[in-house]
Amino acid sequence: MRLPDLLFVLFVTCLTLTGLISYTQLTSVYYRNNLLPANALFDLFIVLYVFAVPATRILPVAAPFFLLSTFYILTSAIFLPAPNGGAPSPLDFIISFKAFFYLAILCFARPRKLSISLGALEKVFKYLLMAFFLKYLFSKTILEIPRPGLFTENNFEIVFLLVIFIFLSRCGRLRSKFWAILLLGVVLLSGSRSGLLGLFAALLTSNGQRSMRLIIELFFLFVLVAAVLTLIDNRIVGLMDLASVDRFLFFTLFLEELKRFEVWQYLVGWTPMTPLSDSTCMRMGFYGSLFSSANSDVCYSVVLHVFYFRVILDHGVLGLIFLIAGFYFLLRSNGLNGSLSFAIIIQGLINGLSISGFANTYFFLAVVLVTSHYSKIRTA
């Protein structure tokens, strides 16, 4: 096995094992999903993986996205306005601009000989899929944990499996239906609404016309299992009542915050690191862990969870368009065809309906692995 592949397998294996044995209860709903800070470690892995042997040059398509992202981040940091409610911490700033940091990093994620191979990526995916299923099944049925997770909250981590599933399927590496059925089991056990929608999109885009028969077969299985879960999972039952859906609350608060906008701010957002109103922060007090790390009484757009709400408030509609276009064209510039690039972007867009979207560590990890995988023949 090549050294990069071996190191990658060992790294993922260690984090998986620390996730499989972690069941510490934090609150009535949330549990410590991993003994290690998996999110931070995966972010560190991304940086080391991309820049350990950086690309010798940036492709012409990537240059404007790198320059504009870097310029925007630096100018926002240098000319940060007078703080309202206390100066934001560096962590607050990074979270607000995380998608732009990721876009700049993606400009350097290109295939090279020290990249992870397609074979290693397939092995890790299959290993992870089985580990996810075992952890979710044991957590849900034996320990009655409502939201099981292997590395972090499952809304974040499931998108990694979906993106890699699409990619490996397009490369002809997942010919057995077993892996699609196992992925279906993982998503249903998670209780993730965005995961269900993402799975449907993944099945539609994983193999083109060849996947139609599989989609039909899985559809009937999906209906059967979903019917059972509807009887026992109040999160799915809650879909029938908008008032019980937390994202509906976020949407109403987002509309309240938009009332503070001037007309031009719909395009570019408000000034960097503008806190949400006191009334919004008060209503979101139960998400205290997402408040400013510098001032526990101040909250920023991250508390609204939904990627679109956060980006429009902080960076405007133009910022949202720039991020979507940037990710798409950088995927294309690394050899992925338009159909596959679109399928991956769809997963980011669906994930953004619930949480971080393009700023999700696990979505970006999958994107980096897909765009930079090493193969003598580029099969994507």
Q: Which of 130, 228, 133, 116 is nearest to 167 (CA)?
A: 116
Round to whole Å and give the CA distance between 265 and 261.
Answer: 6
Round to whole Å and give the CA distance between 35 and 340.
Answer: 35
Q: Which of 79, 73, 66 is nearest to 330 (CA)?
A: 66
Radius of gyration of the chain (CA): 21
Burial class (CB in 10 A: 0-12, 13-18, 19+), 246: middle
pLDDT of residue 79: 83
pLDDT of residue 213: 57
State the residue for tokens 């409610």: 85
Buried b / exposed e across 352-362, counting CB within 10 Å, b at 16+?
Answer: bbbbbbbbbbb
Round to whole Å and give the CA distance between 317 and 312.
Answer: 5
pLDDT of residue 129: 97
Q: Cα torsion for 270, 271, 275, 278, to the nearest 10°? A: -60
Domain regions of the chain by residue span: 3-241+312-372
| Sign, Cα dihedral of 341, 360, 221, 124 | positive
**Rounded average pLDDT per 10-residue block, the chain, 380 residues:** 91 96 74 91 95 75 95 92 72 96 93 86 97 95 90 96 95 90 94 89 75 53 52 46 67 95 95 93 90 90 95 97 97 90 93 94 97 58
Helices (H) and strands (E) in the chain, counts: 17, 0
Q: Which of 157, 189, 167 is nearest to 355 (CA)?
A: 157
The answer to whether 71 touches 277, Cβ cutoff 8 Å, is no
